Structure 1
Amino acid sequence: MKYVYILRSLGADERFYVGLTDDLRERLRKHNAGEVPHTSKFRPWAVKTYLGFDNPDRAVAFERYLKSPSGRAFARKRL
């Protein structure tokens, strides 16, 4: 199972991060431990939304979509 997830920073700046993983709990732990360089400055993180996919190709495509301008607008409005 692949998970596409959106994290929300609990810090002063409200930031969001979209990612893809096989193990959501472990990935969140890594984000909050500072082991992910891109997100380490904006800790702590909480899971805002996640979706599970049994098809890895669809998971990658959905993650790519959420990182696009129209995908970000969709996520803000619907997720």
Structure 2
Amino acid sequence: MTYYLYILQSEKNGRYYVGSTQNVNERLQQHNWSRTPSTKSGIPWKLVYTEEFSDRSLAIQREYEIKRKKSRKYIEFLIGSVG
């Protein structure tokens, strides 16, 4: 089974959201359909970054690693490294 770390960016206010899931497209829809209270104020969201993992715990570990940095600059570095 494949798991993903994902980063969304709000098209409304530019804020980033970091999460992990098995199905990135379904999760993005949930964020944009107000199913996640913490992201309601930023709708619409767009997917700007993903990383793939073979294990759920690794995806969650990476999610928390990024969140612990509390760094917009680091998130923008990650997004910029994909192009």
Tell me the TM-score normalised to structure 2 length: 0.84
Provide the rounded CA distance (Å) in 1 between the counterparts of 2:8 and 2:78. 15
Size of the aligned set, in residue pairs, is: 78
1:3 maps to what in 2? 4
Structure 1, gaps ≥5 residues long: none
Provide the rounded CA distance (Å) in 1 between the counterparts of 2:25 and 2:43. 16
Tell me the TM-score normalised to structure 1 length: 0.88
Provide the rounded CA distance (Å) in 2 between the counterparts of 1:54 and 1:32. 26
The percent of aligned pairs where both chains have the same amino acid is 31
2:29 maps to what in 1? 29
Question: What code does the residue aligned with 1:78 have?
Answer: L
CA separation of 1:70/1:39 partners in 2, compared to 1, >3 Å: closer, same or farther? closer
Provide the rounded CA distance (Å) in 2 between the counterparts of 1:78 and 1:44. 21
CA separation of 1:71/1:60 partners in 2, compared to 1, >3 Å: closer, same or farther? farther
